Chain A
Amino acid sequence: MNMIEGCPGSRMLNFKDKDQKSDDGPEGKIESRLRQWPIQMHLISPVAPYFKGADVLLTADCVAYALGDFHRDYLDGKSMAVACPKLDVNQEIYLQKIKAWFDDARINSLTVLIMQVPCCSGLLNLVKQAAQEASRKVPIKYVVAGVQGDILEEGWVTD
């Protein structure tokens, strides 16, 4: 790979070995686990029925493309929203919506899925800030995905 120049989130990478057929396991159509619309953070209402008491997944834009089993392993059973902490504008509203998830929708849990690139950590920081400002506490899990679809880190947000 080339030396890092400029923003790691924009660094060009070429996964040549992915041209070879990988071992995907049994063939077959994978059913979508998406159970709502809209999903973009600017468009969702945090108190929509599918968020009330739900397990929620907040994922950065790029994650679903990196993780081959996104629907099965992460989205299954959850309501979701998607955002880009680097490129989305007016993110102040995101803070209010996440707080509304905690306090008004009274969600059961929140899983935050981000990429390994540094710009993505902004999404997790936003969630942490919302959690501190919210009056209701909720378990928050974070998962950091590598650009090649591996899971680099996962853990729980603590006070």
Chain B
Amino acid sequence: METYLNTGIKQIIDQFPEVGGILDAHGIGCAPCSVGTCLLKDIIEIHHLGEDEEKVIMAKIAAVLFPDKPIQVPAMKRKISTEPEKISYSPAIKKLMDEHVLIKRYLNLIPAILKNLDIESKEGRQLILDGVDFIRSYADKYHHAKEEDILFKYFDADHGIIKAMLEEHKQARNHVKAVLDALEHRDLDTIARRLTAYRDLLSAHIRKEDEILYPWMDKNLSIKQVGELFSRFHEADREIGYSPEKYQALVERFEEKLNPKEV
């Protein structure tokens, strides 16, 4: 059992698909995760489940992994209490969550942007270029950079969930690069496919951060670290050289023009 506890969850689910179903039934969405490097032993703490629920889940998983013999699953050592409770975010983490709101508003626009997109026209191409500017300047440089260069450095770089988030950032950047390449070649199908893939990836990524990663990180940060993060985030914003209000205005302009329905 010790070996499985220290194995990446995606590897376990690949070998024992039933484990994905068990986790899903308890609201843990590891099965669809594209990275899945979180270790089995960390899943429970990251998802801040109570000790009773942990025992139930681990017993079910042990029965799948060892169907022929009963296995005693050791209680997971927890650094922090993970009893379900009302979540109150520190100002540092809340700042990142507030930035997600604008990113989600842009993601929600993507189907409308792609609908009837004419990339032969200057207007159509500018629509894509403005979107890429938003993604690269706001979603990536303004937001993801704070995560990668500041927040994630407060945690073990080898932790599965940190590696998973970094991998998804990389996948997102690859999609955007592919969109720009496709735009140069007037390849509408690739633009649509990659921008849609970007939307799906980022939507799931943001949900994971808001519901799982950020609450877990917040519980593990001392008040001193929260103060440092808050200060460093604001310093990073000052040093970035442009105003995020520009991207707020861009999204509002898109929304006014495209009037998408909320998905």
Give the interface of A toward B (CB within 8 A): 55, 77, 107-109, 111, 137-141, 154-156, 158
Interface residues of B (CB under 8 A from A): 88-92, 94, 223-224, 226-228, 230-231, 234
- Which chain A positions have C-beta within 8 A of B234? 137
Q: Which residues from B are CB-within-8-Å of A154?
A: 88
CB-based contact B227/A109 at 8 Å: yes
Please determine whether A109 and B89 come into contact, CB atoms closer than 8 angstroms: no
A-B contact pairs, 16 of them (CB 8 A): A108-B228, A108-B231, A109-B223, A109-B224, A109-B227, A109-B230, A137-B91, A138-B227, A139-B90, A139-B226, A141-B90, A154-B88, A156-B88, A156-B91, A156-B94, A158-B91
| A158 CA to B92 CA, complexed, in Å | 11
Nearest neighbor of A142 in chain B, beta-carbon distance: B88
Pick from A107, A109, A140 the residue with the most CB of B within 10 Å: A109
Q: Is the CB of B227 within 8 A of A108?
A: yes
Given the complex, which residues of A lie within 8 Å of B230, measured CB to CB?
109, 137-139
Distance in angstroms from A151 CB to nearest chain B CB is: 12
CB neighbours (8 Å) of A137 from chain B are: 91, 230, 234
Residues on A with beta carbons closer than 8 Å to the beta carbon of B92: 139
- Please determine whether A55 and B91 come into contact, CB atoms closer than 8 angstroms: no
Q: Which residue of A lies closest to B228 (CB)?
A: A108
Chain B residues contacting A140 (CB-CB under 8 Å) are 91
9 closest cross-chain pairs (CB), A and B = A108-B227, A109-B227, A155-B88, A139-B91, A109-B223, A139-B230, A139-B226, A55-B224, A139-B227
> Please, how many angstroms separate the alpha-carbon atoms of A138 and B234 in the complex?
11
The distance from the CB of B199 to the nearest CB of chain A, in whole angstroms, is: 30
Q: Which residues of B contact A139 (CB under 8 A)?
A: 90-92, 223, 226-227, 230
Measured CA separation A99–B51 after assembly (Å): 43
Residues of A contacting B228 with CB < 8 Å? 108
Q: Is the CB of B89 within 8 A of A141?
A: no
Which B-chain residue is minimally distant from A106 (CB atoms)? B231
> How far, in Å, is B225 (CB) from chain A's closest CB?
9
Contact: B90 with A156, CB < 8 Å?
Answer: yes
Q: Quote the shortest CB–CB distance from A109 to chain B (angstroms).
A: 3
Known: A77-B224, A108-B224, A156-B89. 18 other contacts (CB 8 A): A55-B224, A55-B227, A108-B227, A109-B224, A109-B227, A109-B230, A111-B223, A137-B230, A137-B234, A139-B90, A140-B91, A141-B90, A141-B223, A141-B226, A154-B88, A155-B88, A156-B88, A156-B90
Q: Which residue on A lies nearest to B218, using beta carbons?
A: A156
CB distance from B100 to the nearest CB of A (A): 17
Q: How far is the CA of A53 from the CA of B91 in the complex (A)?
A: 17
A150 to nearest B CB, angstroms? 14
Chain B nearest Cβ from A158, distance in angstroms = 7
Given the complex of chains A and B, what is the CA–CA distance between A55 and B223 in angstroms?
Answer: 8
Q: Chain A residues near B91 (CB, 8 Å)?
A: 137, 139-140, 156, 158
Which A residues lie within 8 Å of B231 (CB)? Answer: 108
Tell me the bound Cα distance from A115 to B230 in angstroms.
Answer: 27
